[in-house]
Amino acid sequence: MWHVHLARGSRAGRPCHLLKLTNYPKGECEYCFAPAMESMIRGLSNRRNHSRETTVKEVLMKRYIAVAFSMLLCLTVLSCKTRSFSLKDDKLIDRAARHDDGKVQISQNPDGSYHISGEVMVTFNPSGGYDQTIWADGVTHTWIGKCTYQGYVFDSNSGNPLVFRVDKDNGYTYVGGKGTVTAPDGKSTTLP
């Protein structure tokens, strides 16, 4: 593919013309169109008295380093957002239930009963009745307030409640939110 500057009949003096480069793979010389990049390349060339080829290489190297640093910074920030935590307890997973992508909110009433709202799969049996479980693999739970279940205490932040996902392979896995989980043995974990 011929370089776009030549195809458009652009004026001489662009970095790609100064280096007498005429054939580029697709998208490789798009930076030449940016006026800021062009003036930066010319400015570096005039100040340092280097060959224009070296200056373009320096600019490209600085640009690639800046992009690499930005990507590394983003990955670091994203990896710090969530903390890996899961409860490995079969009381929190119904392994017999089929996979479900449901989402429920769980809160506990003063009398100890639970208020559960949201969507989960319901299976109707041919012999009558139905079966539904919020503890099936894949279901996401948002704990509202302070709740006790199977000896665990989920104490959620009111503005950013704890969210867990039932995962038959990894256990009852923390997904997000803020709060404290206390295990039946009394060990307390603050998330995130």
Positive/negative CA dihedral, 138, 144, 147, 152: positive
Quick: pLDDT tens for 35-52. Answer: 555 565 556 555 555 455
In terms of domains, do 55 and 107 share one? no
| Number of compact structural domains in the chain | 2
Per-residue pLDDT band for 12 (boundaries 50, 70, 90) equals very low
In terms of domains, do 77 and 102 share one? no
In terms of domains, do 105 and 165 share one? yes
The DSSP output letter for 177 is -
Least confident of 77-86, 141-150, 176-185: 77-86
In terms of domains, do 60 and 140 share one? no
In terms of domains, do 170 and 91 share one? yes
Closest to 105 (Cα-Cα) out of 122, 93, 92, 118: 118
In terms of domains, do 185 and 137 share one? yes
In terms of domains, do 75 and 114 share one? no
In terms of domains, do 113 and 48 share one? no
The DSSP output letter for 20 is T
pTM higher than 0.75: no
Which domain range does residue 48 map to? 4-81
> Alpha-carbon distance 182 to 188, whole Å?
4
Average pLDDT over every residue of 81-85: 70
28: phi then psi, degrees, rounded to nearest 5: -75, -25
